[in-house]
């Protein structure tokens, strides 16, 4: 197993418990991303490139659900992380997940070199892929809309209190906070689907055949389809407005309906504030970045006096 000397002894012991690992030709840690998983690029005994994710044993049930979500998505016809193996070490309890490697380059790195038309086309394809994920049928026993609405309402109000109590504020934030409270009843209109959970440029790959690949389902859940789009505002829009427009048009097959925009504005107002609280453990640079994204949301939505952000202009 080449390159194992740069892996911690604890992780190396867990890796050696993964079936077939004795034949692996190469393994290298991957440090990019926000997940608490320890991630590794692997070349197995047959020369196939894989992604290995290791998690603490206390996350077993959650990781089992994630693996099941990946297997559901694997029914769909686009490039993505595909399930290979899953289990946990009998002694340490460490959970392992082995997935196919999605070959290509991070889309966020290459997209700025595309023409505006190419950026829009990439967004359109990404939106169509997300639509496919959202069309996966919900399994029996998933949360009801009524229970989801109750939990989401409580979570939003709790997190708004956390923001109001934190030390990192943004001028005009009271407008967004008031908008959340005024519009929170829109949660009752939610249309529940399986979420990828973190569907933005940072989790998309530009494959060698010039198509979109999808990675990192580790924040998957079941919720309102419209909630999945607030990161268009948070992340996609600041890298490429044509991509952001294309992603929406590709999902809906044209301009989104008003019902979507109404709930989208609610999720953007909520996320633009709570993301600042989320960033606090990661330091001043991340906090400042989220504050700037909040200011941009307030500007794009004209202090939430408009439903459709200024940057969205439907194509003819």
The least confident of 18-22, 165-169, 235-239 is 18-22
Sign of CA dihedral 211, 216, 222, 226: negative
Nearest residue to 262 via CA among 289, 295, 224: 224
Same domain (yes/no): 32, 168: no
In a domain, 312, yes or no: no
Q: Torsion angle, CA of 175/149/65/278, rounded to 10 degrees?
A: 20
Q: What is the pLDDT of residues 50-98, one digit of tens each?
A: 999 999 989 999 999 999 999 999 999 999 999 999 999 877 789 999 9
In a domain, 307, yes or no: no
Spatial separation of the C-alpha atoms in residues 121 and 46, rounded to whole Å? 36
Q: Is 283 exposed, middle or buried (0-12, 13-18, 19+ CB in 10 A)?
A: exposed
Q: Which of 67, 82, 100 is the last residue of a domain?
A: 100
> pLDDT above 70 covers what percent of the chain?
97
Compute the C-alpha angle 60/275/130, nearest 5°: 65
Question: Where residue 82 sits, what CATH number does that domain have?
Answer: 3.30.200.20
In a domain, 196, yes or no: yes
Question: Residue 152: left (phi > 0), alpha (psi -120 to 50), or beta?
Answer: alpha
Same domain (yes/no): 265, 120: yes
Average pLDDT of the chain is 93
Same domain (yes/no): 80, 186: no
Same domain (yes/no): 152, 286: yes
In a domain, 72, yes or no: yes
pLDDT at residue 37, rounded to an integer: 87
In a domain, 306, yes or no: no
Question: Where residue 127 sits, what CATH number does that domain have?
Answer: 3.90.1200.10
Residue 184 has pLDDT above 80, yes or no: yes
How many folded domains does the chain comprise? 2
Task: Give me the helices (H) in 39-171, please.
Answer: 60-73, 107-110, 116-134, 145-165
Nearest residue to 78 via CA among 54, 102, 98, 108: 102
Residue 1 has pLDDT above 60, yes or no: no
Q: What is the pLDDT of residues 125-169, one digit of tens each?
A: 999 999 999 999 999 999 999 999 999 999 999 999 999 999 999
Q: pLDDT grade, residue 316 (50/70/90)?
A: very low
Same domain (yes/no): 51, 92: yes
Q: What is the pLDDT of residues 264-308, one digit of tens each?
A: 999 999 999 999 999 999 999 999 999 999 999 999 999 999 999
Question: Residue 70: left (phi > 0), alpha (psi -120 to 50), or beta?
Answer: alpha
Spatial separation of the C-alpha atoms in residues 202 and 108, rounded to whole Å? 6
Compute the C-alpha angle 40/17/95, nearest 5°: 65
Spatial separation of the C-alpha atoms in residues 37 and 219, rounded to whole Å? 12
DSSP state of 112: G
Q: Name the residue with tokens 């193996």.
A: 85
Same domain (yes/no): 141, 252: yes
Same domain (yes/no): 24, 95: yes
Domain that holds residue 69: 4-100
Residue 198 has pLDDT above 90, yes or no: yes
In a domain, 276, yes or no: yes
Same domain (yes/no): 182, 293: yes
In a domain, 256, yes or no: yes
Same domain (yes/no): 202, 123: yes
Same domain (yes/no): 169, 75: no
- Residue 132 makes CB contacts below 8 A (sequence gap 6+) with 76, 77, 78
Same domain (yes/no): 149, 288: yes
Q: pLDDT grade, residue 205 (50/70/90)?
A: very high
Q: Which of 75, 100, 125 is the last residue of a domain?
A: 100
In a domain, 264, yes or no: yes
Q: Which of 47, 66, 100 is the last residue of a domain?
A: 100
Spatial separation of the C-alpha atoms in residues 19 and 316, rounded to whole Å? 54
Residue 204 has pLDDT above 70, yes or no: yes
Same domain (yes/no): 109, 34: no
Question: Residue 286: left (phi > 0), alpha (psi -120 to 50), or beta?
Answer: alpha
């Amino acid at each position: 197993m080449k390159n194992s000397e740069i892996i911690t002894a604890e992780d190396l012991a867990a890796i050696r418990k993964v079936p077939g690992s004795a034949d692996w030709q190469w393994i290298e840690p991957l440090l990019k991303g926000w997940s608490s998983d320890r991630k590794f690029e692997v070349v197995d005994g047959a020369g196939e490139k894989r992604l290995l994710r290791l998690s603490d044993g206390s996350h077993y049930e959650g990781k089992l659900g994630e693996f099941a979500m990946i297997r559901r998505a694997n029914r769909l016809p686009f490039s993505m992380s595909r399930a290979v193996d899953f289990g946990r070490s009998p002694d340490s309890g460490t959970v392992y997940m082995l997935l196919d490697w999605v070959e290509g380059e991070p889309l966020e790195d290459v997209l700025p070199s595309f023409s505006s038309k190419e950026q829009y086309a990439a967004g359109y394809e990404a939106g169509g892929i997300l639509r496919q994920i959202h069309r996966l049928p919900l399994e029996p026993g998933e949360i009801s809309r009524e229970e989801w609405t109750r939990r989401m309402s409580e979570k939003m109000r709790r997190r708004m209190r956390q923001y109001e109590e934190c030390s990192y504020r943004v001028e005009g934030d009271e407008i967004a906070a008031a908008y959340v409270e005024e519009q929170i009843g829109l949660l009752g209109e939610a249309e529940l689907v399986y979420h990828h959970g973190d569907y933005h440029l940072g989790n998309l790959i530009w494959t060698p055949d010039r198509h979109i690949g999808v990675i990192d389902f580790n924040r998957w859940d079941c919720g309102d389809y419209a909630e999945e789009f607030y990161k268009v505002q948070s992340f996609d829009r600041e890298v490429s407005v044509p991509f952001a427009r294309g992603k929406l048009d590709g999902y809906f097959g044209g301009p989104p309906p008003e019902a979507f925009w109404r709930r989208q504005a609610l999720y953007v107002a909520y996320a633009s504030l709570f993301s600042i609280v989320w960033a606090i453990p990661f330091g001043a640079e991340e906090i400042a970045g989220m504050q700037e994204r909040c200011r941009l949301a307030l500007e794009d939505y004209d202090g939430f006096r408009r439903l459709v952000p200024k940057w969205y202009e439907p194509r003819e």
